[in-house]
Amino acid sequence: MRTGQAEIEQPGTRQAGTGQASAGQAGTETFLGAQEHAIAAAIDGLVAVAVRSGPRDISLTAASTLATLDRGGPCRLTDLAEIEGVAQPSMTTLVTGLERSGLAERRPSRADGRVVLVALTPAGADYLRTRRRARAAKLAGLISQLPAAQAAALADAVPAMVGLRDLDTQRRRAVRDSKAVRESEGATL
């Protein structure tokens, strides 16, 4: 990636201009190019800024779980555990805490009364909005300090950043949907 001064090369990425893997990546099917690595590293740094600027009254996993419910709607506890990458007993404990805080609730599924879904409460939705506004305000303050050309470049990148977020939302939905299909197939056998 050209930064205006020098080409960025990261260990384990393509050799600049060759499209080939460096020695650290030989034989690996997937690898990031220097440009993708630089973008990912920059986004990771911004995520760290956003996380540090947010409230710390719940864990990051709890906040992520609320965001999953916000974007995807009510969900089985087992699906939430899989989506968030935690064990089901840990998710049970987390959801119980979110219920006690009034941020989430368990309710029967309309489609199958035997199934219990975890859902975001109005207070949970308000909490997420407040949390997102605080992070956005912190980042907006930093963006306002950038030179105009860099701020404009970020504005131009907004559709791509939204696309990245949407890809993750799709991934999370696919996990939920594939599990639902497996369970329904198991019920018909």
Render pLDDT for 48-78 as a digit per residue (tens, 0 to 9): 888 887 777 899 899 999 999 998 899 999 9
Are the beta carbons of 38 and 10 closer than 8 angstroms? Answer: yes
d(CA 69, CA 82): 13
Which ranges of the chain have pLDDT less than 50?
1-29
d(CA 166, CA 160): 10
Pull the structure tokens for residue 34.
């220097």
106: phi then psi, degrees, rounded to nearest 5: -100, 140
- Tracing tokens 């912190």 back to the chain, one arrives at 138
- Residue 159 in 3-state DSSP? helix
The pLDDT tens digits of the residues spanning 18-42 come to 444 444 444 334 556 888 888 889 8
